[in-house]
Amino acid sequence: MKYRRLGKTDMNVSVIGVGTWQFGGEWGKNFEQSEVNDMFAAAKDCGINLIDTAECYGDHLSEEFIGAAIEGNREDWIVATKFGHKFHDLFTRDTIYEPAMILQQLEDSLKALRTDYIDLYQFHSGNDEMFQTEGLWELLQKQVELGKIRHLGISIGSNQNIFQTERASSVNAKTIQVVYNRLDRAPEEQVLPECIKQDLGVLARVPLASGFLSGKYTESAAFDKTDVRGNWMDDKARLDKITQAIEIKKTEVPEGVNMAQWALAWVLTNPAVTTVIPGCKTVEQVKSNAAAADLQMVSTEHPQAC
């Protein structure tokens, strides 16, 4: 595993993390605690130290799984979670940014994670009006001073949200989380250069384009309503991603290279990116994704494995 300093924070994160939206039950699978324990044991063995979760992956459900899994070695992990939503039911949540309610969300996250501090607390993709909620960032700064939060971050909703990215340092946010992958390069235009300018750590999310860059799906792939790819994603958008991924597999992924690993390594070739946080559903996926840290890429513009 390789490690990088996460922006202006004092934290060194593994270049591959574990994304955990999956534990909330919106990816066509319900998890057992024992399986989650095995996934984090495998991640630790591979040198992964970064976990990304959120308040609304289930009603703090993903955080509960994580809390139970890492309770015995909490200090070894960098736990990134988020605030701004109230989960109601699968695929249904409200956005909530009133400071008093954020304070409650923070307490609920700490309880679920079985910890008294969060390493990275991220604004969860609210719009620009929510970002400017009166008193919000002052309240969060107070929690930093109290030691409940080590660092603040922003997970931007649109991956071209330059408004929030430009204001990150002014609200003491030290990281940006953004959708960035081989199928979606929009952040290269403004967001990633701005992150370099402010020395913000970058967590690249959805690095496998929701799994399609694993190369395992064909045009006839179907997802039911229990899977976000069959619920929130329309047929045309899904087919478009699959078709592009098939073409990239043919034209860009070297023979014999695992495409999911290639896709993660491709994201990491951008110098603005600190780490990728692929969502994982099995121990095998955790291990395979971790191995992407060892894949050597020769060019940022036209990456090929050596």
Ligand X SMILES: NC(=O)c1ccc[n+]([C@@H]2O[C@H](COP(=O)([O-])OP(=O)(O)OC[C@H]3O[C@@H](n4cnc5c(N)ncnc54)[C@H](OP(=O)(O)O)[C@@H]3O)[C@@H](O)[C@H]2O)c1
In the list 205, 262, 272, 274, the residue contacting ligand X (rule: CB under 6 A) is 205
The full length of the chain comes to 306
In the list 208, 242, 248, 265, the residue contacting ligand X (rule: CB under 6 A) is 208
* 81 scored as a contact of ligand X (CB under 6 A): no
Write down the least CB distance from residue 233 to ligand X, Å.
Answer: 11
The answer to whether residues 293 and 15 touch, using CB atoms and an 8 Å cutoff, is yes
Closest Cα partner for 155 from 56, 72, 46?
56
**Which residue's beta carbon is nearest to the bound ligand X?**
279
Span 134-193, contacts to ligand X by CB under 6 A: 155, 177
In the list 13, 202, 277, 290, the residue contacting ligand X (rule: CB under 6 A) is 277
* Alpha helix stretches (DSSP H) within the chain: 33-45, 61-70, 99-113, 128-131, 136-145, 162-166, 191-198, 228-231, 235-251, 259-268, 283-291
95 or 300: CB nearest ligand X: 95
* 285 scored as a contact of ligand X (CB under 6 A): yes
* 280 scored as a contact of ligand X (CB under 6 A): yes
Contacts of 48 (CB under 8 A, 6+ apart): 1, 14, 16, 17, 18, 286, 290
- Say how far apart CA 72 and CA 84 lie, in whole Å: 28
Give the chain's end-to-end CA distance (angstroms, integer). Answer: 18
Q: Which residues pair with 173 in a beta bridge?
A: 152
Write down the least CB distance from residue 276 to ligand X, Å.
Answer: 8
Which one of the spans 4-12, 232-240, 275-283, 298-306 is the region binding ligand X (CB under 6 A)? 275-283
Q: Which positions from 7 to 46 touch ligand X by CB under 6 A, shown as an x/- string?
A: ------------xxxx----x-------------------
Written as six digits, the tokens of 248 are 């990239």
Spacing of C-alpha 225 from chain mean position: 22
9 or 177: CB nearest ligand X: 177
| Residues engaged in binding ligand X (CB under 6 A) | 19-22, 27, 52, 82, 124-125, 155, 177, 205-211, 214, 216, 260, 277-281, 285, 288-289
